[in-house]
A and B are shown apart, each in its own frame.
Chain A
Amino acid sequence: MTASAATTERRISVTINGTTYEREVEARKLLIHFVRDDLDLTGSHIGCDTGNCGACSMIVDGTLVKSCMMLAVQADGATIETVEGLADGEELNALQQAFSAHHALQCGYCTPGMLMSATALLRANPNPSDDEIRKALQGNICRCTGYWNIFEAVKAAAE
């Protein structure tokens, strides 16, 4: 078997934060690599390659997904939201402001994924309890903050 025989190109179309992109993509390419490398939307990050860390979290057709666990071709036709779409122009949204006000980020590497998970939570449950916040964020790893300030920020944004 030659190394490249396992893959074929396919043309896909995705709409990310309101912009539609059409591209040829290798069938085996992960959604996160497609978004970062092919579309140059580098706000979403990669931290583990195994679906543990959540740095690549996006909302795909209304559902929170870890985009390293999905192939780009599976997103054909999908509407995707990433961290780049959260702010309204220059105006940070309530969650982004709360993250800054509560010092819920240090290096900022996990932050895009954390924000997307929190966004999905607050849409489904605008007034989450402390426990519900923890459960909603358990799929996102942060190595800087110990999470405590992130919990506070999400709670404040909900209020």
Chain B
Amino acid sequence: MSTTIAPEKVEQAQETWSGQNVPRKEDRRLVQGQGVFVDDVKRHGMGYLHFVRSPYAHAHITSIDVSQAEAHPSVYGTLTGEEVAALTDPFFQIASVPGANVKDYALAVGKVRYVGEPVVAVVAETREAARDASELVEVEYEPLDAVTDARGAQDEGVPAIHEEAGGNLMWHGVYEWGDLDSAFSEADRIVRIDELHFHRFNSTPLECDGALVEYNRGTGQWTIHTNNQFPGFAIIMMGPAMRCGLDKLRFVSQDIGGGFGNKITSHPQLVACCLLARKLNRPIQWTEWRTDFHLSMSHGNERWFLDTEVAVKSDGTLLGFRTRALDDAGAYLRYEPLGGVIWAQVTPGMYKWRHIRVDFTQVATNKAPVSPNRGYSRMQHLWFTERLIDIVAHELDLDPVEVRKRNYVRAEDMPYTTPNGCVYDSGDYAKMLDLALELVDYPSIERRRTDARARGKLLGVGIGSTLDSGTNNFGQSRLINPELQFSGNNEVATVKLDIFGEIVVTLGTTPQGQGHETTAAQVVADILKCSVDDVHVRAGHDSYWNSHAGFSGTYASQFAVTGLGAVKGATEMLRDEIFKLAGAIFGGVPQEALELADGGVRIKDNPEAFLPFMACGAIINANNAGLPEDLGVTLNCRYVYRPPFEVPDVERKYGNLTLTYASQVHVAVIEIDPETGYYDIVDYAAVDDCGKRINPQIVEGQVMGATAQALGAAVHEQYAYDEDGNLLTPNFYDYHVPHALDMPPLKTSYVESASPFTPLGTKGMGEGGGAGIHAVCAAVQDALRVHGGAIVYDSCNPYHRVWEMLNDPSKGARVQVTP
């Protein structure tokens, strides 16, 4: 099953809640089926919404007739693109021109651009009736040629998916740092790689997207119960489109059944729900069916790396690289083209090379829109940099372990400024690699390779070393579009002492299983010197609680920094207010003479003088006559954590884009059956460093989950399309996610390099960097070394692809080395 090795002995007994495996507060309700997920929310008289979706990848809509559907006895009403275009404005586009010209609405207007695009919404008394009636909607289409390969999207004669954009180019930018000419003239060897491909998949949270939307006609406000994981983003997309103030959109969630970034861009569907709640004057319930999710929601960025060149010394010292990155955004820019800059958070990967050029192009295709997916955009780039390491090692006959160690940024160089101005806060990558190799007993690998060979198997070992950059500086959006006025980041928490002394915490975040209620309580309990059981963290999110800021949400590996930073700030404010109040009650005792203990405040030299929190809460809330006028104590404290960022230099594309850099080193050992291409992962190690760990068990849970998702993506999961733009994997039969029997034995360990930049020494770490994908790619390539030596070119290596490379090594990447 799984083995955890603690690398260092615990030096002293824990005296704080932080650092301990406190059982999760969330679990009690969840193991009893008492969680409240969006589809559990019901209202009297609600109507079920079902979307009529496009059967074509690319077509003009010539007519829509909803009359038969409207006549269905159970139908409450419908919504068409024509109505949407009249009632709303197109969504704000993040892109500069040409992507800025894309017109994107809640429903297709005039044209469909991918199979599964919502065309009409039908609302009926039951889920079943809504589906029935959807089949009565008559839509006539005039099909157009579909664009399904990003590499040909800009060719002459290829139809423009968005005519307003004048073609299929959505965004282009050139990133160049250092001195490429010098690097390539200084190089002993230049390695050229024709083409590498990072495939399209996502994390398929088990709960699909959904909402229950109510409209209050008297106030003009919508209450949107939804599992959207980034209300701060949804609200700024929806408000302007719906021509309403942001305060008219109240977002509420309790439990969310997984998100992984895939639940950030549901704003078009939420707008359709809002319009129908107003039009039909009744609550609207929408829950995706699994196939709806696969067809239309938040595919991960598919990316090609073309004409790559790597400058390297004979000893394996890496000098630099240049490449053309081609990103397939799908049919609409829902969060894109931010993927065109997010990768730059990890420009050099874990390595010291200083001369880098990436010519980045993003195009539209007739596939589902891409949006953030765990590891968003950095995973693609880190896979690429790791591929470069292993291809260079292969071509120059060097040891991949040695090439890594020679080029890793060293612990003594931390904090390390990358060529593009990002600052790696802390870490010891070489130590992590040693730990990972130890876990798989690396010295025995050659013996095991021989053993495997004797059994007719090809053994391969591969390393994946990656970063999980966290806490975005939203100023990076200006590198995509200099006119944008975003920068920095923020998150909010409130902590109050209620009338009976209850400690109540609200968060601005929208957790999807990360245990925020628990870790927040640990931080609060440490500051207020009480038990975690005394801290009540409200479950879920409600934007009306005043615990909401522009970037509130749960995404992009940041809670342990932004969320807990806010919790710490608010709790320290409350602590100081308690001291102020107690000082006054005790007759002018200064703060320095007071301390918190045992659920109250007392005078250090006179522990008999003790005021329990209950008394503090009661005095301020219900018994406050006679208190000094200038006391300035409410015992209800709100804190906004704002990380220290500058606006990046747009001209040089230079600046610190994220605050923290958690790191991962994974090692996979596989055995391939050369007859069939089938392989098993026979040994696997994951070493993680996310700085200070507030709850080690929760951290390890994230490491395990990210590992499992990476292994699924590496071996099986892909959103494959045929040439007409039909999705070939629209359900869990065809889209194989890992099952219990797929899981390899797992060994984990950790290093703890506290971040010098964050309030608690923590780093965001939820995304995991996709190290497993690279480790498997590297292991496959290593195994094939003695069997034709094909170079792994794709991030997904199902058995048939391995079989192809075994049988015809030219099916691998084309690589040339000069001289």
Contact = CB atoms under 8 A, between A and B. Distances in A.
A36 to B, nearest CB: 8
B74 interface: yes
Interface in B685-741: 697-698, 700-701, 704-705, 707-709, 731-733, 737-741
Interface string A68-96: 00000000000000111011000010001
A29 B128 contact: yes
Contacts of A67: none
Contacts of A103: 21, 24, 697-698, 700-701
Given A4-B73, A42-B40, A111-B31, A148 B255 contact: no
B257 A48 contact: no
B302 to A, nearest CB: 20
Interface string B12-29: 000000000101101111
B206 A92 contact: no
A42 B207 CA distance: 13
A138 B32 contact: no
B34 A43 contact: yes
A41 B697 CA distance: 31
A4 B740 contact: no
Interface in B1-47: 1-2, 21, 23-24, 26-37, 39-40, 42
B733 A52 contact: yes
B42 A135 contact: no
Given A3-B72, A84-B33, A149-B704, A107 B255 contact: yes
Interface string A26-57: 10110001001100111111111110110100
Contacts of B514: 106
Interface stretch (B131-139, B332-340, B464-472, B607-615): B131-139
A145 interface: yes
Contacts of B182: none
Interface-central residue, A4, A33, A40, by most chain B CB under 10 Å: A4
Contacts of B708: 143, 145-147
Interface-central residue, A42, A50, A53, A147, by most chain B CB under 10 Å: A147
Contacts of A83: 31-33
Contacts of B29: 108
Contacts of B35: 108-109
A158 interface: no
Contacts, number: 196
B746 interface: yes
Contacts of B205: 107, 109, 143
A109 B37 contact: yes
Contacts of A40: 42
Interface in B37-96: 37, 39-40, 42, 72-74
Given A28-B128, A48-B290, A52-B733, A144 B513 contact: yes
A92 B28 contact: yes
B32 A37 contact: no
A44 to B, nearest CB: 7
B740 A147 contact: yes
A67 to B, nearest CB: 13
B39 A46 contact: yes
A61 to B, nearest CB: 20
Contacts of A36: 39-40
Interface-central residue, B30, B36, B704, by most chain A CB under 10 Å: B30
Contacts of A87: 32
A4 B1 contact: no
Contacts of B291: 49
A93 to B, nearest CB: 9
A96 B136 CA distance: 46
Interface string A89-130: 000100010011101011111111001000000000000001
Contact of A48 (B127, B697, B732): B732
B510 to A, nearest CB: 12
A137 interface: yes
A142 B205 CA distance: 9
The DSSP consensus for interface residues of chain A is loop
Contact of B704 (A43, A82, A130, A148): A148
Contact of A110 (B36, B206, B697): B206
A71 to B, nearest CB: 12
Interface in A129-159: 130, 133-135, 137-152, 155
Given A26-B128, A138-B739, A53 B1 contact: no
Given A45-B257, A142-B206, A111 B30 contact: yes
B289 interface: yes
Interface string B771-785: 000000000000000
Contacts of A110: 206
Given A105-B27, A138-B741, A145 B705 contact: yes
B513 to A, nearest CB: 3
Interface-central residue, A45, A48, A142, by most chain B CB under 10 Å: A48
A53 to B, nearest CB: 6
B206 A143 contact: yes
A146 B513 CA distance: 13
Nearest to B133: A3
Contacts of B739: 138-139, 141
Nearest to B74: A4
Given A107-B205, A135-B741, A99 B32 contact: no
A141 B1 contact: no
Given A45-B257, A49-B290, A134-B741, A82 B33 contact: yes
B254 to A, nearest CB: 11
Contacts of B204: 143
B732 A141 contact: yes
A44 B733 CA distance: 21
A80 to B, nearest CB: 13
B206 A53 contact: yes
Contact of B740 (A43, A44, A101, A138): A138
Contacts of A135: 740-741
A133 B36 CA distance: 29
A150 B739 CA distance: 12
Contact of B513 (A55, A101, A106): A106
B743 interface: yes
B562 interface: no
B260 interface: yes
A6 to B, nearest CB: 8
Interface in B282-315: 289-291
Contacts of B258: 106-107, 109, 143-144
Nearest to B2: A148
Interface in B326-359: none
Nearest to A107: B513
A96 B31 contact: yes
A48 B731 contact: yes
B257 A109 contact: yes
A92 B1 CA distance: 25
A43 B731 CA distance: 23
Contacts of B27: 99-100, 105, 108
Contacts of B72: 3-4
Contacts of A142: 206
Interface of B: 1-2, 21, 23-24, 26-37, 39-40, 42, 72-74, 126-129, 132-133, 135-136, 203-208, 255-260, 289-291, 512-515, 697-698, 700-701, 704-705, 707-709, 731-733, 737-741, 743, 746
Given A107-B205, A147-B743, 7 more contacts: A33-B127, A49-B291, A52-B733, A53-B206, A92-B31, A143-B205, A152-B2
12 contacts: A3-B135, A4-B72, A36-B39, A55-B206, A96-B31, A99-B31, A111-B31, A141-B737, A146-B704, A148-B704, A151-B1, A155-B1
Q: Which 3 A-B pairs have the closest CB atoms?
A: A43-B33, A108-B30, A146-B708
Interface of A: 3-4, 7, 26, 28-29, 33, 36-37, 40-50, 52-53, 55, 82-84, 86-87, 92, 96, 99-101, 103, 105-112, 115, 130, 133-135, 137-152, 155
